[in-house]
Amino acid sequence: MTTYENLTCPATASAVQRFTDPTTWGTFGTQWHSGEQKNLQCYAVHQETHDVKTFIFRCADFSALSFEPGQFITISPVIGGQTLFRCYTLSSSPTRPFAFSITVKRVPGGAVSNWLHDNLKPGGKLKASGPAGSFTPVGHPATKLLYLSAGSGVTPLMSMTRAACDMAGNLDIVFVHSARTPADIIFHAELTRMQAAMPGLRVISVCEGLGDTAQWQQPIGRLDLPLLSQQVPDYKEREIFTCGPQGYMEAVKTLLREAAFDFAHYHQESFDITALNEEPLIEQAATLDQQDVFTVTLSRSGKTFSMLANQTVLSAAKKAGAIVPSSCSQGVCGTCKTALLQGTVEMNHNGGIRQREIDKGLRLLCCSKPTSDLVLDL
């Protein structure tokens, strides 16, 4: 039986201690348990829009999850007998460390998002690792912030906004969210409520069209420089956090470049994994310059394949039929960590591996390109 005794654990005490100064994000501290796997139990599911659901979890052992707003977890459901790995941002606030949520948009043809929507019900169980990720306001102690999101990219910014609201601090936040129609705005009602409750929060929803909505007082169209300048005249004084589809983020960066915005105050996160599927195929290794082709041997299966110097090892291994766990394809989640037994790679990771793991010979295959022939522990 669940009692309040289950809630008294050291993690809560340290979480509470870290929320003592509500005027700065830095009070969240930097504690997170990268690589640690947890058993999660789903205890509620909310339909947010026609194709978005929020899944609320608790740890099976009632432990408190310590994370920074904007970070994600990597879930690993078993679907059709195969374990799949996918990253999902924690859309809830770290100020509520026991009940935490992910908010998932159905991706047409997508294996995990559709499985979650169709199968995960209250009582359902999942394994997850993390939290991880560096898309967080912790470490950027600005008091004037601008959150820009589109579609499911709202999730990290929602976590940041919920945290700010719970902390009752003096943050000045403008949250501009873009959606196709008013019916597609995720968290619309809650953001409206939070805006009424938090003096420093202003929420602007920008819709491409009205859909079935008859009454709409907010901007219609796409976010561009005139719209941003009109709605948020002081945007250049703000720390900007952006998350959304690739095209949206490119558009935001273009308009900020046009405005000569100082990109030292710009942060973004991409949910996009398509880059992995778009890499060039190596069809005819024999026709390529031999200096640009390397041989990769998988020590466990004995499989050998050739790959180009400008491919990632993950992409080439998958194309050669190897089963390599992976998720983000951006060097952030750590799922593709593999021991490099022989050879050298150039690895450009984004925080998904620690120096001591690199020293032990581990590499993230999704962001590693070969600089010699390789032998991998796969």
Please provide the size of the chain in residues.
378
Residue 352 interaction partner, one of ligand FAD, ligand FES, none, beta carbon < 5-8 Å per kind: ligand FES
The CA distance from 208 to 179, in Å, is 7
Query: Which residue number, 28 or 187, has a Cβ lying nearer to ligand FAD?
Result: 187
In angstroms, give the least distance from the CB of 278 to ligand FES: 16
Assess contact for 70 and 89: CB atoms under 8 A. Answer: yes
Q: DSSP letters along 186-220, please? A: TTHHHHHHHHHH-TTEEEEEEES--TT-----S-B
Query: Which residue number, 148 or 367, has a Cβ lying nearer to ligand FES?
Result: 367
Residue 188 interaction partner, one of ligand FES, ligand FAD, none, beta carbon < 5-8 Å per kind: none
Beta-carbon-side half-sphere exposure of residue 242 (alpha carbons within 13 Å): 22
Site for ligand FAD in 165-194 (CB under 6 A): none
In angstroms, give the least distance from the CB of 262 to ligand FAD: 25
| Interaction of residue 328 with ligand FAD, rule CB under 6 A | yes
Starting at the earlier edge strand, list the strands of the sheet with 172-179.
201-207, 172-179, 144-150, 239-243, 266-269
Residue 326 interaction partner, one of ligand FAD, ligand FES, none, beta carbon < 5-8 Å per kind: ligand FES
Give the three-class secondary structure for 308: strand
Task: Please choose, out of 108-116, 193-201, 309-317, 360-368, the segment that lies near ligand FAD by the rule CB under 6 A.
Answer: 108-116
In angstroms, give the least distance from the CB of 85 to ligand FES: 8
Strand ranges (DSSP E) for the chain? 37-49, 52-59, 72-75, 78-79, 82-83, 86-89, 100-105, 125-132, 144-150, 172-179, 201-207, 239-243, 266-269, 293-298, 304-308, 337-342, 345-347, 362-364, 368-370, 374-376
Q: From the list 352, 369, 370, 376, which residue makes contact with ligand FES (rule: CB under 6 A)?
A: 352
Residue 113 interaction partner, one of ligand FES, ligand FAD, none, beta carbon < 5-8 Å per kind: ligand FAD
Task: Please choose, out of 138-146, 278-286, 328-336, 355-363, the segment that lies near ligand FES by the rule CB under 6 A.
Answer: 328-336
In angstroms, give the least distance from the CB of 274 to ligand FAD: 7
- How far, CA to CA in Å, does 202 sit from each of 45, 144, 147, 295? 28, 12, 10, 55
In angstroms, give the least distance from the CB of 332 to ligand FES: 6
Task: Please choose, out of 36-44, 140-148, 253-261, 327-335, the segment that lies near ligand FES by the rule CB under 6 A.
Answer: 327-335
Paired tokens of 214: 């008859």
| Interaction of residue 334 with ligand FES, rule CB under 6 A | yes
In angstroms, give the least distance from the CB of 360 to ligand FES: 16
